[in-house]
Structure 1
Amino acid sequence: MLFYTLSITILLWACANAQFGDFKQNFGYVNVREGAHMFYWLFYTTASVTEYTERPLIVWLQGGPGGSSTGVGNFEILGPLDLSLQERNYTWIKNFNVLFVDNPVGTGFSYVEDNKYLTKSNDEIALDFVELMKGFYESNPEFEGVELYIYGQSYGGKMAVDMGIRMREAEDTGSIKSNLRGIAMGNSWIHPVDATLTWGPLLLAAGLVDQEGYEDIQASAREAERLFNEGFFWNSTMQWAATQQVVLRRTTRVDFYNILTKMEVNLPDNLSAYEIARDSMIRDMPYTSRRQALNLNTLMNTRVKQALRIPERVIWGSQSNQVFDTLRTDFMKPVTESIEKLLNETDIILTKYNGNLDLICDTPGQILWVDRLKWPGAEGYRNAPRRPIWENDQLEGYYKSFGNFRFFWINVAGHSVPRDNPAGTNAFLRDMTSFG
C-alpha cells in the first residue's frame, strides 16, 4: 500500500514537469476508493482565448467496458496527435478543453490493487466518477463552474447516463463545484436487447444476409432476450456473444463497427465466442485496425508511460478483461430509466448521436428505446420535424430535437462518429456547446 501511495504522490508532483508532446496538458491519479486509482489526462484548448476556462470542459469516455480513453479515444479518435504522432486536424482541443478518463477503474492506466475493488454495476462506476471529478477540481480549481459536458462512446454512453445523475446530485448537495450542462451518447449501449434484436433486420435490409441468415440471427437474438427477461443476466450476455458469432458466420465476418467493411480473418482459433465479443467491445474500434491495436499497446506502455512517469508496476490495459468480466451481469441491463430521470428532473441536455453504418449499436435499435421514453416532451419530440445537417454544402445527416433531448443521424460514419465524420460531429458539438 505504501508503494502505491508514494507512486501516486510522486506522479502528481511530476505532472507540472512532465508531458507527452508539445500540447499543454495536465494529468494525474485520484484515489476514488480504497484500492482503486483512476487516471485522467487533460489537454487544454488551443483556441484563441485569454484564459483556457473561456471554453467548456469535455470529458471523453471510451466504451468496453474496459476501453481506454487516454489510449483509444486520445490517439485513435479525437486527441491532438494520431497513432503516428502526427497532428490531427480535427482534434477537439481546437475548441475545447478535453479530459480523457480511463474509466472504470482497471481500464488503461487506471488500476486496482486487487480485483475485488473492480466495479460491478453502472451506479458504482458513476460514484467512482464523481470522486474522480472531485479530485480533478481539487487539483484544477480554475475549472470549477466551467461548463462541463460528458461525451461517451459505446459503453461509455451507458456509463455517462448514470454519471449525470450522480454528478447532479453532488452539485445539488454542494459536494462538488462542477457545472454539468450536457451528456452525449454516441453509438451507445443504452438498451442492449433492442440493439441485438435489430442486427438481423438491418443486415437483411442492407443485403448482407439472406432470409435464412436473418432467421438464424433472430433466433439467437430472441434467446438473449428471453434469458434477459427471465432475469438470467449473465447468461443473456453469453448469448449476446453467441449471437455475434452467428452474425459473423452468416455475413462472412462483417465488421460490427462498420457494415461496409470486413473484420480480419486471422483471429486466433482458440478464442471463444465470448472472448471475441469481449475483446471487440474493449477495443471499441474496427477489427481492421488490429495491427494498430498492437502499436497502441506498445506506444502506451513505452513512450507515453515514460513521459507521464506512470509507476512501473502499472501496465496500460492489463486489467481490461477483468473489468469487462466483472460487469458481465450488468452488461445487458438498459439505462433508459436513468435517461427518463434526467429528462424529468433536470435541465441537462441529452444528445443521442449515431453513425448509420454501425451494427453493434445500430441506429434502428436506438430509435426503439428513444420512442418508448416517458417524459413531458415525448409527444413534442415525436411531432418535431427531422431536419438535414448541412456542413460545407455536404449532407452529413439529420437531426431531431425537442426540449433538452436531441437525436443526430450521422451519414458516412460507423461506430466512432468523431473519427469517421468530423464534419457531422461539428453539428452536434455546436448544438450542445455553441462551439465546434
Structure 2
Amino acid sequence: MDMPCYALALLLPLFCLGSLHAGSAASTTGTPDGSELWGYVEVRPGAHLFWWYYKSPQRTSTPSKPWPTVLWLQGGPGASGVGLGNFQEIGPLDVDLKPRNSTWLQKADLIFLDNPVGTGYSYVENNTLFVTTDWQQAVDATAVLKALVKEVPTLQGSPLFLVAESYGGKYAATLGVSIARAVRAGELNITLAGVALGDSWISPEDFTLAYTPLLLSVSRLDDNAGDEANKKAETVKKQIAAGQWAASQKSWGDLLDFIATKSGNVDVYNFLLDSGMDPVSTPVASTGSSLANLQAKYSTYLSSQDSASNTIDGIMNGVIKEKLKIIPKDFKWGQQSDSVYYALVNDFMKPRIDEIDELLSYGVNVTVYNGQVDVICSTDGAEAWVQKLKWDGLKTFLSLPRQPLYCGASKGVKAFVRSYKNLHFYWILGAGHYVPVDQPCIALSMISSITQSAAS
C-alpha cells in the first residue's frame, strides 16, 4: 500500500484549530491536508486525554457505504495506544517511520487514544485525578468522543468500532456501554457499530483458572506443580467471589510468580517460548514484584520492532513530539504508566461480562478474537467467560461449527471463526497475545470482515 503522505507528514507544516491552554475543553491540530488530526481533550479540570486521528487514503468522498472508523484501546493498564498500538502494531508507520504493509488504515480510519489519563501523552495536573475504575475511564473517554464528533469531520457519519487489546478489553466493554447509553439518551450523535476484544482481560477469574490446565497440556508444568498452581488459582477465585479485589490481584501475581519458577519462565504472552525469548520482546530485569514484572514485560514486549537507529521511546520523545507541537515542553512520554496501573488495583480483577451482555442486548456487534498460544488471556479462558453470557443467542452460537479461514497466498488454515447474529469469535492460529504483530495478514483480513470495509 503506497502511503507516502504519512511518511512525509513528519516534515510538513501544521494547521491549528485551537490552542491548548488551561481550562480548554479541546484543542485540535493536524496536517494541512486533513489526513491527520490530533489534540487534547480536557475531560475533567486538570485531566487531559490525548488522541490522534488518521484518515484512510482508501476513504472516498462518495463511498458505496459508510466508511468505518476504528478506535484502538491499548491495555496495560497504562500502556500507550498512541505509541504501541500505532507505531508497533496497526498504524500507518512503523518505528522506523516507514509505511507498514499490514496497517489497518487500509480498511478504516484510525483513532489512537492514550487512555486513561496519565497514559502516554495524556496527563493529569495532580495525582488525585487518575481513574480508579474502568467506569471512570469510560466517562472520560465518552467525553473525548463527544468532543471528537465536533473536531473530526468524518466521525459523525462513520460507523465506529472499538477495538481493544488485553486490559483494553475492559475499557472497551465499559466505554461501549457508556457510548450506547449516551446515544440512546440523545447525548451523543454517533453510530457504535461494533466492539472487538483482542486477547482481552474480560474475566480475570476465568483466565486465572485456565493457566494450570493449559500449561499442563503443553508440558510447561508437571502434575506436582499443577496441583499447587490449582490451589493458588482457587484462592484467587474465592477472593474475587468475596469482593476482595486488591487481595485477589496480589494472589494472582503470586500465582504468576509460582508459574514462572516451575515452568522454566514460560513467556506468559506465548507459551511456546521462555520469558524474554520472543522475537518481539526484550528481557526484563526482576524487580522483586510479580505485578511490576508483568507490567514492565507488557511495555517492552514489542520493542524489538525498534531498529538499531530508532526506538519507540526515542521517536515518541523526539521526532513525534516535535511533529505534534502541543505536547507540554518538559513532558516525557512513557510506554507504560506505573501510576495508572496501580490506581486501578481495586478494579483490576473485576469482570466485565455483564457489560458484554448489555452490548449484545443493544444489537451491537461483539467480536472476540484470541491468539492460540497466549497464556495471560488464553483462548480457553475467553471461551469460558463467553459461555457465561446471558445473551439469548448463546446456545445456538455454541452449537454452530467453526469455519476455517485462509490468508493470501500462504498455505494452511490461519484461523477459525464462528458467528451467530451479533456475536463473533475468532481463533487465531500461531498468534500470542499480540495478534496484529504475530499474524498481520489474518488480522487485517479479520478487521475488514468486522468493519465490512468496502476496500478489497
Alignment TM-score, normalising by the size of structure 1: 0.91
Shift of 1:11: 9.5
Alignment of 1:317 onto 2:334: yes
Name the structure 2 match of 1:142.
154
Per the TM alignment, residue 15 of structure 1 is displaced from its structure 2 partner at its CA by 3.1
Cα deviation per residue 1:374-398 (whole Å; 9 max; x = unaligned)?
Answer: 1110111121221111223531111
Whether the 8 Å CA contact 1:68–1:107 is kept in 2: the answer is yes
SS in 1 for 2:406: strand
Q: Which amino acid aligns with 2:396?
A: G
- Show the counterpart of 1:378: 394
Give the aligned partner of residue 262 of structure 2. Answer: 250
Q: Deviations over 1:47-87 (max 9, x none)?
A: 16236995211101110110110000011101111122221
Q: Secondary structure at the match of 2:248?
A: helix
Per-residue deviation, 1:315: 2.1
Q: Does 1:202 align with 2:208?
A: no
- Map of 1:330 onto structure 2: 347
> Residue type matched to 2:390 in 1?
K
Q: Does 1:84 align with 2:96?
A: yes
How far 1:279 sits from its partner (Å)?
2.5
Q: Distance in 1 between matches of 2:394 and 2:53?
A: 37
Does residue 15 (structure 1) correspond to residue 30 (structure 2)? The answer is yes
Deviation of 1:136 (Å):
1.1
Equivalent residue, structure 2, for 1:429: 447
Aligned partners of 2:129, 2:106: CA distance in 1, in Å? 37
- Does the aligned pair in 2 maintain the 1:285–1:415 contact within 8 Å? no
Tell me how far 1:258 sits from its aligned partner: 1.2
Query: 1:284 Cα shift?
Result: 7.6
* Cross-structure match for 2:433: 415
Q: CA deviation at 1:257?
A: 1.0
Deviation for aligned residue 1:273: 1.8
Normalised by the size of structure 2, how large is the TM-score?
0.87
1:31-430 alignment to 2 at 5 Å? 31-47=42-58, 49-50=60-61, 54-264=66-276, 267-281=284-298, 283=299, 285=301, 295-309=311-325, 310-317=327-334, 320-344=337-361, 346-392=362-408, 393-430=411-448
**Distance in 1 (alpha carbons) for counterparts of 2:189 and 2:312:** 35
Farther-moved stretch of structure 1 (420-429 vs 394-403) = 420-429
| Structure 1 stretches of 4+ moved >4 Å | 7-11, 51-54, 286-292
Taking the aligned partners of 1:252 and 1:161, their CA distance within structure 2 comes to: 35
Moved more, 309-318 or 176-185: 309-318
Q: Which amino acid aligns with 1:405?
A: L
Give 1:397's aligned amino acid: A
Deviations 1:133-156 (A, max 9, x none): 111111123321211100000011
In structure 2, the CA distance between the partners of 1:179 and 1:14, relative to structure 1 (3 Å rule), is: closer
> What is the alpha-carbon distance in structure 2 between the residues aligned to residue 308 and residue 387 of structure 1?
44
Output the amino acid matched with 1:331. Answer: F
Mapped to 2, the partners of 1:151 and 1:213 lie a distance apart of: 36
CA contact (8 A) 1:165 1:338 kept: yes
5+ long unaligned stretches in structure 2: 1-18, 278-282
Q: Tell me whether 305-314 or 180-189 shows the greater mean CA deviation.
A: 305-314
Work out the CA distance in 2 between the residues paired with 1:185 and 1:327: 20
Q: Distance in 2 between matches of 1:115 and 1:319?
A: 16
Q: Secondary structure at the match of 2:184?
A: helix
Which has the larger helix fraction? 1
Partner of 2:27, secondary structure, is helix
Distance 2:62 2:267 in 1: 43
For residue 115 of structure 1, report the CA deviation from its aligned partner.
1.5
Deviations 1:226-253 (A, max 9, x none): 2222221101111111111111111211
Code of the residue aligned with 1:278 in structure 2: it is: Q
The 3 A distance-change label for structure 1 pair 168 and 128 is same
- 1:194 offset after TM fit, Å? 0.7
| Displacement after TM superposition at 1:351 (Å) | 0.2
| 1:6 aligned residue | 21
Residues 148-203 of structure 1, C-alpha deviations (whole Å, 9 max, x = no match): 10000001111101111110111112221111100000000000111011111111
Aligned amino acid, residue 415 of structure 2 = G
The residue type paired with residue 21 of structure 2 is L
Q: Distance in 1 between matches of 2:228 and 2:442?
A: 35
Shift of 1:290: 9.6
Single out whichever of 222-231 and 182-191 deviates more from structure 2. Answer: 222-231
Single out whichever of 114-123 and 309-318 deviates more from structure 2.
Answer: 309-318
Cα pair 1:153 1:186 within 8 Å, conserved = yes
Alpha-carbon contact 1:389-1:427 (below 8 Å) kept: no
| Residues 280 and 287 in structure 1, CA contact (< 8 A), matched pair in contact too | no
- The answer as to whether partners of 1:70 and 1:102 remain within 8 angstroms in 2 is yes
RMSD: 2.5
Residue 124 of structure 1: how far off its partner (Å): 0.9
Q: Which amino acid aligns with 1:419?
A: V
Q: Measured at CA, do residues 226 and 5 of structure 1 come closer, stay the same or move farther in structure 2, by a change above 3 Å?
A: same
In the superposition, relative to structure 1, how do residues 262 and 290 fare at CA in structure 2: closer, same or farther (>3 Å)? farther
